A and B are shown apart, each in its own frame.
Chain A
Amino acid sequence: MSVWIDRIGYALLVALCAFALLLLVAPSVIVIVISFEPRAFISFPPSGFSLRWYRSVFENRQLMDSVWVSLGIASGVAVIGLLLGVPAAFASVRGRFPGKAGVNALLLSPQMMPGMVIGIASLFFGAYFAFRASNAMLMLSLSVFCLPFVVRIVMARLAGLDPLLDEASANLGAGKFETFVRVTLPQIAPALLAAAAFTFIEAFDNVTVALFTWDVRGRPLPVELYYLVQYDNTPAIAAISALEIGLSFLVMIIVARTVGLARLGR
Chain B
Amino acid sequence: MTADALRRPGLPRLLRRILHGRGFWPAAPALAYLIVFMVLPIGTLLLFGFVTIERGRIVGDSFTLAHLDKALHDTLVWRLLWRSLWVATASSLLTLLLAYPVAYVFAELRGIWRMLVLIAVVSPLLTSALVRAYAWLVILGGRRGILNQALVSIGLIEEPLRILNTDWAVLIGMTQIHLPFMILPLLAVLDERDRRLEEASANLGASHTETFFRVTIPMSVPAIFAGLALVFAVSYTNFIVPQLLGGGNYSTLAVQVYEQTIVVLDWSRGAVLATILLSTCFAFVLAIVAFGSWLARWNEVAR
Contact = CB atoms under 8 A, between A and B. Distances in A.
A124 B271 contact: yes
Given A87-B18, A90-B26, A241 B135 contact: yes
Given A143-B33, A176-B5, A180-B19, A87 B124 contact: no
A251 B127 CA distance: 10
Most buried by A among B1, B129, B138, B271: B138
Interface class of chain A by DSSP: helix
Contacts of B136: 27
A261 B118 contact: yes
Interface string A108-149: 011011111110111111111000000000001101100100
Interface string B101-135: 11011000000000001111111111111111111
B187 A265 contact: yes
A28 B135 contact: yes
A116 B257 contact: yes
B203 to A, nearest CB: 15
Most buried by B among A2, A96, A124, A248: A124
Interface in B119-164: 119-139, 144, 146, 149
A16 B101 contact: yes
Nearest to A42: B138
A189 to B, nearest CB: 17
A230 to B, nearest CB: 7
Contact of B130 (A23, A107, A151, A225): A225
Given A24-B179, A28-B135, A122-B37, A97 B130 contact: no
A43 interface: yes
B86 to A, nearest CB: 18
A252 interface: yes
Contacts of B73: none
Given A6-B208, A205-B130, A106 B34 contact: yes
Given A124-B271, A241-B135, A109 B281 contact: no
Given A23-B98, A107-B31, A177-B19, A91 B209 contact: no
B131 A245 contact: yes
A229 B130 contact: yes
A211 interface: yes
B257 A120 contact: yes
Contact of A21 (B30, B33, B102, B237): B102
| Nearest 4 Cβ contacts at the A-B interface | A265-B184, A175-B5, A27-B135, A114-B237
Given A121-B42, A255-B126, 16 more contacts: A9-B208, A25-B123, A87-B30, A95-B23, A95-B24, A106-B31, A120-B45, A121-B44, A128-B58, A175-B8, A176-B21, A207-B129, A244-B128, A245-B123, A264-B184, A266-B185
